[in-house]
């Protein structure tokens, strides 16, 4: 039994994803800036783009955090013995599908943000940005991969060894995805605070 517990602890450390819960919501900051005259000062079009980016950053963070939470729940579920599952009398919970849904939503939101960042004066050209866009495109065009009988995963997976999100041949480390969300959050926060 001691070996099982040591293995479970190693598994939790191995799959520990960066926590983004410390990032505050940007939509609230945008609304406060709007009340302080942001729209009048910077124009309606810029403000609309910024509002959309704020919403998408908050969404990306939320979807990422939900992915992280479900992975934690899945880890705990896998540690349960058969007897514990039977005793619970609810069967075994499978978090994989929901985890994939949240992860796809996160990647899609970040990819959409990249399209708006140049209009806010924020650079986004990086290896991480390219990887996120490529993974999003692989997800969105999965039907084409199926019809062409392309091998490999059709949905994003998080590998435990290197903590990377992979779809087909495209991959990004989860740490890099989290850092991108955090970087974008900081850039947008800077716009909101410096342009008042």
**Most confident listed range (15-24, 26-35, 76-85):** 26-35
- Position 13 scores a pLDDT of 33
CA 18-23-25 angle, to 5 degrees, is: 140
Is 48 domain-assigned?
Answer: yes
Segment holding 49, helix H or strand E: helix 44-79
- Residue with the two structure tokens 């849904």: 101
For residue 23, pLDDT over 90 is answered with yes
Contact 132, 114 (CB under 8 A): yes
Confidence bin at 196 (pLDDT 50/70/90): low
Compute the Cα dihedral for 178, 179, 181, 186 and give only its sign: positive
Q: Is the pLDDT at 191 greater than 70, yes or no?
A: yes
Burial zone of 113 (CB within 10 Å; 0-12 exposed, 13-18 middle, 19+ buried): buried
State mean pLDDT over 70-86. Answer: 86
Q: Over the stretch 132-183, which tens digit does the pLDDT of each residue have?
A: 998 888 888 777 777 777 776 677 777 666 577 877 778 888 889 999 999 9
List the beta bridge partners of residue 112: none
pLDDT: which is higher, 49 or 165: 49
pTM above 0.85, yes or no: no
Concatenated DSSP letters of 98-166: HHHHHHHHHHHHHHHHHHHGGGGT----SHHHHHHHHHHHHHHTHHHHHHTT--S-SS-EE-TTT-EEE
Is 174 part of a structural domain of the chain?
Answer: yes
In a domain, 73, yes or no: yes
Q: Is residue 171 classed as helix, strand or coil in its secondary structure?
A: strand
Quick check: helix, strand or coil at residue 158?
strand
Domains identified in the chain, total number: 1
Q: Residue 96's domain spans which residues?
A: 2-14+24-194
3-class DSSP state of 50:
helix
C-alpha Rg value of the chain to the nearest Å? 20
Q: 185 in a domain, yes or no?
A: yes
Q: What is the mean pLDDT of residues 100-119?
A: 93
Residue 19: inside a domain: no
């Amino acid at each position: 039994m001691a070996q099982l517990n040591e293995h479970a602890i190693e598994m939790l450390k191995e799959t520990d994803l960066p926590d983004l819960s410390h990032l505050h919501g940007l939509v609230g900051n945008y609304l406060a800036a709007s009340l302080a005259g942001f729209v009048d000062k910077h124009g309606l079009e810029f403000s609309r783009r910024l509002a959309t980016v704020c919403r998408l950053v908050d969404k990306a963070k939320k979807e990422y955090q939900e992915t992280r939470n479900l992975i934690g729940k899945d880890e705990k579920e896998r540690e349960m013995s058969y007897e514990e599952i039977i005793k619970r009398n609810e069967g075994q919970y499978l978090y994989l599908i929901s985890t994939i849904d949240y992860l796809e939503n996160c990647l899609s939101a970040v990819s959409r943000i990249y399209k708006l960042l140049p209009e806010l004066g924020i650079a986004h050209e990086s290896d991480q940005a390219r990887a996120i866009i490529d993974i999003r495109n692989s997800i969105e065009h999965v039907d084409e991969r199926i019809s062409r009988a392309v091998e490999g995963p059709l949905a994003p997976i998080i590998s435990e060894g290197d903590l990377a999100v992979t779809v087909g041949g495209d991959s990004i480390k989860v740490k890099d995805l989290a850092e991108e969300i955090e970087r974008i959050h900081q850039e947008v926060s800077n716009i909101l605070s410096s342009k008042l």
